[in-house]
Amino acid sequence: MSYTGPGFEPPQPRRSRRGPLTVALAALVPGALLGWAVYAAAGGSGDDEAAGTPTVSASASPRTSSAAPSASAGEGKPTGSSTAKPPAASGALEGKVVVIDPGHNPTNFEHTAEINRQVDIGTNRKECDTTGTSTNDGYAEAEFTLDVAHRMRALLEKQGATVKLTQDEDRPFGPCVDERARIGNKAGADAVVSIHADGSGTGNRGFHVILPGAVDAGGADTRAIVEPSADLGARIAGDFVRVTGSAPSNYIGGGTGLVTRKDLGGLNLSTVPKVFIECGNMRDSKDAALLTSGAWRQKAAQGISDGIVSFLRG
């Protein structure tokens, strides 16, 4: 996903007001970073490269293959269980609605005219969708996002949640970013998470969670969801570190794993708590090795799901 566009903001220092959310974020994010530090010291899969000069650009490329680059991409079939953390009691999320938004679509590249159509995102107009990025060996972001979404669905349904996907490779392209937001709104979702992987430069590693900024323009008004979305995002970031051992991004977010943006239609047009997560950088060989591993994708699904569960249970 691109980091250019109107309204893109790097994380800003928070005001000194210490409300309940401030306390929660202060507890969650440092704890997550400490968890990663312990994991990395023990030889885990965290970032072991020196952080390069931060960049704010990402070049997306069309999907070149629907197949993973090696057998490791197919290992570890989606399951509803994990040994990373004991599951909550059965039915703990009964009555809760979660919408999972797998970024892009595996056949978007066949419908360039349709996905290049401009749609209203409140602050301005943007493309309906993009092709997404891929690893250097051709494993497409759209394949990755669907796989993680399926694994998350199994985990969350096991705990009683009603889970809806914005797309399940059941349409030729899209949906457009404005429709993705409407799907979550119409479902009355208690939480929405959009799954992505980045396409930044080599040496840029790690994950980051994108939070909605305060927008009140055109058909967009995120003011009511900014705080609950920040809570959701912080919990996901903390559990993602704990379960996967991956480090927060070394090129954006100032080491927090959290970034605020106002230029994404999927966030701007949401009326329910929603975040994006960029699970890693497909253009870095070390991150790509994780993203193409079925076992690691199961951990990613578990970490994101655990964050959602924590948010929904309060």
- Return the active site residues: 278
Residue 227 burial by CB count (10 A; 0-12/13-18/19+): exposed, middle or buried? middle
258 strand-pairing partners = 209
First CA to last CA distance, the chain? 31
Residue 241 is encoded by which pair of tokens? Answer: 């570190």
Cis peptide before 69 (omega within 30 of 0): no
Residue 141 burial by CB count (10 A; 0-12/13-18/19+): exposed, middle or buried? buried
| Distance, CA of 197 to CA of 200 (rounded, Å) | 10
From the CB of residue 213, how many other CB atoms can be counted at a distance below 10 Å?
22
Within the chain, strands assigned E span 8-9, 97-102, 118-120, 125-127, 162-165, 191-198, 208-212, 216-217, 220-221, 258-261, 274-281
